[in-house]
Amino acid sequence: MFTVMMRSTVLFSTLLMSQVSFAQLDTAVFDAATAQKSPMITTMERLVSVESGSGDREGLGQIASLIAAELSALGGDVELLQAGDDVYRMFDTPEQLGPMVHARFSGSGDKKILLIAHMDTVYLRGMLAQQPFRIDGNRAYGLGISDDKQGVALIVHVIAMLQALNFDDYGTLTVLINGDEEISSPGSRTMLTQLGAEHDVVLSAEPTRIDNDSLSLATSGIGAVTMSVKGRASHAGAAPELGRNALYEMAHQLLQLDDLSEPDVGFKVNWTLAQVGTNRNVIPADAVATADVRMLRLEDFERLESRIQERVSNRLISDTEISLRFENRRPPLQATDASRALAAHGQQIYAELGMTLVVNDQAEGGGTDAAFAALQTEAPVIERFGLQGFGAHSNNDEYVLLDSIEPRLYLLARMIMDVSTGAAPGVK
C-alpha cells in the first residue's frame, strides 16, 4: 500500500512538474510580441485609413499594394493575383473583383503553413470621413478594424516577430489576403481550396470575441435560394381576371416551403426577402423571394434543390412560371481530430501567459474562408487567431481590444514555431 502510494505521489509530482515546465513563458517570444505592439497599432491605422469595400476595386487595389509592400519588405516573394475564369458568380458578385495578396517565405524546414485573412469590408466609400481610426483607452476603433484588418496586421507583425527571433524552421510560410470575403469569396475560393490542400496546417486570423477569448474549429455553411415567379400584369380594377397574380403564387409557394429546416442537424432555411409589384392598381407580373440557408453538412444543401423543385410543381395559378437559383455561398467548417489536437496545443501555449483559451468545436453562425481551405485536406484548419473584437458590420462601434495584441501575437507565433519544429500535435 505504501509503495503504491509512493508511486502515485511520484507520478503526480512528475506530471505537475511537467505542467509547470510546459507552462513556462517563452520570454524571448513574448518580448518580441511586446516590441511589435506599437508598430501593429500603426499598421492597423494605415489599413483602416484605406476604404476597401468588397465592391470598391480602387480601394482594394490601394490596400493590396500597401499589404504587398509590407510583406515584401519582410523578405516575402509577393505577387498580386487576379480572379480567374472560375469566379463563382452570385447575385451580389461585382463585375470586377479586387486582387489577392499572395506571399511566400522560404525557410530551412519542411512544414508548410498557410496564414489567411481578408482586406475587404462591408462599408461604403465615404464613411471613413465620419469615422476615422481612433483610440479610446483599451479600444482601437475603425471601420473594418475587427473584421478583418486586425487579422492582416497580425499576420504582418507575426512574421516580423519570427524574423526578429531569427526563426525560419518552417519549410514554407504562405500568406493569402483576399478582397472578396464579405461577398462569399467568389474569386478567391478556388485559390483558398488549392492552397489549403498544399499545406500542412491552415491558421486563419479572423477576430475572436471580447467575451470569449477562443479559437474556432467549426462554422456554419451558408447558402441562398432565390425563387422568381412570372405572372401577367393587368389592370387591378378594370380587368383583374386577365392577369396572373405573381404575388398570390409566391405567397402560395412560400407557405408550401415553410418547413424545410431540420433543426436537429443544424439545417436552417428561412425566407427573408421578397420583392413584388410596381403600382397599387396593377396585378403584379413578377415576384422574387430569397431564403437564407445555414448548414452543418454540405450534403443537406445539395439535396435541398430536389426538395424545393418537387414542391413548387404544385401551383396555385397554373400558367405562372417559377424559376429557382441555388447559391452555395460558403461550405461549413467541420472540426476534426487533427484540428482538436492542434487547438488543445494552443490552449497550452495560452496557459504560458497565465490565460485561458476556449476552443469552440461546435458550429457558430457566421461562415469563414477557412472552410474553403479545409475542403480538400485532412490537415488541421483553425479559425479566430485574431484579436478580440466587437461590432463587425456595424456602422459606429467596431473596435478591437489593444491588450489582446501581445497574447494573440504570442499565440500565433508560438503555434507557427511549434508546428515547424514538430512540437505540435495533429500535424503530419
Active site residues: 120, 181
N-to-C CA span, the chain: 43
Locate 210 and state its grid cell: 471580447
Contact between 268 and 224 (Cβ < 8 Å): no
Q: Measured between alpha carbons, how far is 138 from 251 in angstroms, rounded to an integer?
A: 50
List CB contacts of 268: < 8 A, sequence separation 6 or more: 261, 292, 293, 294, 295
Angle formed by the axes of helices 57-73 and 150-164, to 10°? 10
Angle separating helix axes 150-164 and 27-48, nearest 10 degrees: 140
Handedness of CA 258, 263, 267, 272 (dihedral sign): positive
